[in-house]
Amino acid sequence: MRDRLIEIAAAVLPGTPVDGAVLAGGQFHDVVLLPGVAAVRVARHESAAAELPRRTALLARLAALDLPFRVPEPLGPVTTVDGLAAVALSWVGGAAHPKGSGDPVRLRGLLEALAAVDVAAVEDLLDVPHAYAGRERWEELLLEEVLPRLPGHVRGEARRRIEAAAGLGPVPARLVHGDLAGDNVRWGPDGAVVGVLDWDLASPFDPAVDAACLAWHGWEAVAAAVDGETYRRARVWAATFAVEGVGAALLNDEPVDRQIAAATRTLETMG
């Protein structure tokens, strides 16, 4: 598979050396990284292939906005190579932030930059909330299909968390990235955010979801970065993430044992 992916990268970037390519992957795509040059996304499933043109158009739209950080820009159209949909994106530098620490001022600035985007300017290219875990069926999926698969001793806690999130009152929709953690936020040596990657889950939704994702930096940092109500909502959303992982695996027809084990550990230990 490695050779096939590198051949696809060479096809969508004709004339570009692919020596030193590094393979990575996410929920929807395999990625061929050409450090300093480009990243080539290759859809892993038919559903991801169908979504790739929209997701690529969203990146182009976002890159044209006056954001205080870089977004990967398409270097060409989505192309089918050897039966797989692929697209080359511009390289975004920086590095992932170490887990468990973070500057609340920088985190607040990132959330404020997203909140400042006019949702109407990108809404036609956004997905719906919970797109990776049931979409409009999110609550039904988690309660009716995920819950019965969990060990009996954690089902009550799982139900409590799902119902708490489903019961959150509505808030004005903002541009929500949906996965502001780990490698997806790129930081410069001066401590500033230089880029944000992987907008596949972007939707018009509750910005507390992004605050919850920033718990990568520690809840203390999140608490200092947002107001009290956003923090409260973020804790509620975060409490469902592991259970959602099981739902996403079910929807993608993937084995769920690993996700069930992770959800069980979280439900047993997370307050």
Q: What DSSP line would sit under 100-140, residue for residue?
A: T---HHHHHHHHHHHHTS-GGGTGGG---TTGGGTGGGHHH
Ranges in the chain annotated CATH 3.90.1200.10:
104-269
Residue 270: the pLDDT is 61
Rounded Cα gap, residues 196 and 89, in angstroms: 13
Residue 22: the pLDDT is 95
Rounded Cα gap, residues 73 and 56, in angstroms: 8
Element (H, E) at 259: helix 257-269
Ranges in the chain annotated CATH 3.30.200.20:
2-90
Backbone angles phi, psi at 43, to 5 degrees: -65, 135
Mean pLDDT, consecutive 10-residue stretches, the chain (271 aa), reads 93 94 89 96 93 98 96 97 96 96 97 97 97 95 98 97 96 97 95 97 98 97 98 98 95 91 91 49
Sign of the alpha-carbon dihedral angle for 144, 149, 153, 159: negative
Rounded Cα gap, residues 169 and 20, in angstroms: 49
Rounded Cα gap, residues 127 and 167, in angstroms: 22
Residue 254: the pLDDT is 86
Query: Phi/psi class of residue 73: alpha, beta or left (left: φ > 0; alpha: ψ in -120 to 50)?
Result: beta
Q: Look up the pTM and report it.
A: 0.94
Q: Among residues 227, 230, 190, which one has the least CA distance to residue 213? A: 230
Q: What is the CA radius of gyration of the chain?
A: 19
> How would DSSP label each residue in 203-258?
EEE-THHHHHHGGGG-HHHHHHHS-HHHHHHHHHHHTTHHHHHHHHHHHTT---HH
Question: What does the angle CA 26 – CA 256 – CA 177 come to, to the nearest 5 degrees?
Answer: 35
User: Which one-letter amino acid corresponds to residue 221?
Assistant: A
Element (H, E) at 268: helix 257-269
Is the distance from CB of 208 to CB of 237 less than 8 angstroms?
Answer: yes
Q: Which two tokens stand for residue 263?
A: 């959800």
Residue 25: the pLDDT is 84
CATH superfamily, domain 104-269, is: Aminoglycoside phosphotransferase (APH), C-terminal lobe (3.90.1200.10)
Residue 147: the pLDDT is 98
Q: In CATH, what class is 2-90?
A: alpha beta
